[in-house]
Amino acid sequence: VACAVGWACWKTSLGRPEADWTRWCAMGQLGRGLLASEHYEDALSVQEAELSTLRRIGVPEGQMLVAQSNIANTYDLLGRFEEALSMRQDTYSRWLKLKGDAHEETLREATSCAITLSNLHRYAEAKALLRKMIPVARRVLAESDDLQFRMRMACNRALCEDPAKTLDDLREAVSMLEEIEPTARRVLGGAHPITAGIERDLQEAREVLRSRETPLRFKVGDRVICCGGPNHWESGTVIKLWYTEDGFAQGFYAPYQVELDEGRLVFAPDDSDGCVRREAPPEAS
């Protein structure tokens, strides 16, 4: 429906001058309709044409930055994260210069920039940006503003998905989500997607924190035997603690990655004797 409405608006406005506001509004409606229908490549073409039109007719810079941010959103949907980041960083810096760090559009674009950084696994940069901007948002936005929730959720993602995360990072994530969860539930209700997302993220962050606070039995370099099936054990060496890979469920980290003596890399999903044990010392000759 949204796509059909967009095409109808665009066809109706075709005979109007390029600078007529109804024409470029119709172009924006067409782009939104194509996005709603998941025609992302077509939507991108329309959005790029819209931005070009806005530049030619000389609309205020704020309007052009909104159009530019929309293009970055579509790049993200297409998985073109490097292009999205380049555009977001330009948009963020221009909002910063135009309105300062306390303006809602600046905060919104900083959040989007951090999300794209996380998409690129550049977690340290995402954390640094959000740690700088969240205190600003706390100062200038209402406690119930959904941007407050979105910024903390984006920061939680950067903290928890980073393979190099520390216990302090996990504690920061849990504390941050615990702070906003009651407000989200009160303001938005328990069924709202943002509230549900916060509760899910909080549960996962707590589980990861609990597992990481429990000392592991082995350290890197220890000799172990791993269960490879019923009554089948294989010797190897621990080469990494808290191992993760793309195929794992979100928030799951295997206690150990082990290099078997035969050369294969495996992981131990649980720190228990049923999964991995210390290798017995060689018998004295």
pLDDT of 52 strictly over 90: no
Average pLDDT over residues 259-284: 91
- Answer whether residue 173 is part of any domain: yes
- For 103-145, write each residue's pLDDT tens digit: 999 999 999 999 999 999 999 999 999 999 999 999 999 988 9
- Answer whether residue 65 is part of any domain: no
- Answer whether residue 73 is part of any domain: no
- Answer whether residue 234 is part of any domain: yes
Average pLDDT over residues 14-30: 62
Looking at residue 33, its pLDDT comes to 78
Same domain? For 153 and 172 the reply is yes
Closest Cα to residue 153, out of 204, 105, 223? 204
Same domain? For 208 and 263 the reply is no
- Answer whether residue 81 is part of any domain: no
Q: In the listed set 197, 214, 231, which residue is the last one of a domain according to the structure?
A: 214
Looking at residue 13, its pLDDT comes to 54
Average pLDDT over residues 277-285: 81
- Answer whether residue 70 is part of any domain: no
Which domain, by its residues, includes 256? 223-278
Same domain? For 147 and 198 the reply is yes
- Answer whether residue 138 is part of any domain: no
Q: Report the number of distinct structural domains present in the chain.
A: 2
The answer to whether the pTM exceeds 0.85 is no
Same domain? For 206 and 230 the reply is no
Looking at residue 1, its pLDDT comes to 44
Looking at residue 196, its pLDDT comes to 95
Per cent of the chain over pLDDT 70 is: 89
pLDDT of 16 strictly over 70: no
- Answer whether residue 264 is part of any domain: yes
